[in-house]
Amino acid sequence: MAERERRDGRMDDWGDDSSMREAGAGELPVIGWIRALRRGCVGAALVLALAQQIFLASYRVAGSSMTPAFLDGDRVVVSRTPGFFGEPRRGEPVIARVHGEVVIKRVVGVPGDTISLGHGVLRRNGRVADDPVPASYHDRSETGPVTLGAGQYYLLGDHRRVSIDSREFGPVGADSILGRVILRVPQQGAGFLTGALARH
């Protein structure tokens, strides 16, 4: 009876070596795809890490001069200048090195602009500028007019009552701007970022 069962194939269907080889061959492309995907992920991670080193940096905000936009302890991701995101534009926050200290400020004037402040009102080229800072953070300072030369930027802190900025240290050269802020990470969720300190 055992021989009859072997002859009619019911055992051979499960035990035949050629069937097992075909099943194994069907699994190989899937395994190869998984390995290729794994290699691709590792390669992408390396490329991203390299891109971060070349084009991006992170800083921790220290101080209150950029309140309410940036709070003490926040982290910011910065596009190094020049980079993918171009040169600083009016209204953008930037990281700059001034007198050896790294600071975070907002660009209010670019090369060719004439900047002045009167009773806390920001004027650009003789006209009241579009100012994103709430009036409650303005002060009554009077400055300027200052005309910016080639490669010069005028930087202000958002909390102008406490900020030390271009009203005191003057226009900042393009070579002193380390990068443009492209992302804010609130202090509660900033643990995964490391970087230098950006003071007020």
End-to-end CA distance of the chain: 92
User: How far is it, in rounded angstroms, from Cα 87 to Cα 179?
Assistant: 9
User: How far is it, in rounded angstroms, from Cα 124 to Cα 139?
Assistant: 17
The pLDDT-based confidence of 54 (bands split at 50, 70, 90) is low
Quick check: pTM over 0.85? no
Q: Which CATH superfamily is domain 56-199 in?
A: Umud Fragment, subunit A (2.10.109.10)
pLDDT tens by residue, 66-87? 999 999 999 998 887 655 567 8
CA angle at 84 for the pair 83 and 86, rounded to the nearest 5°: 70
Q: What is the pLDDT of residue 6?
A: 43
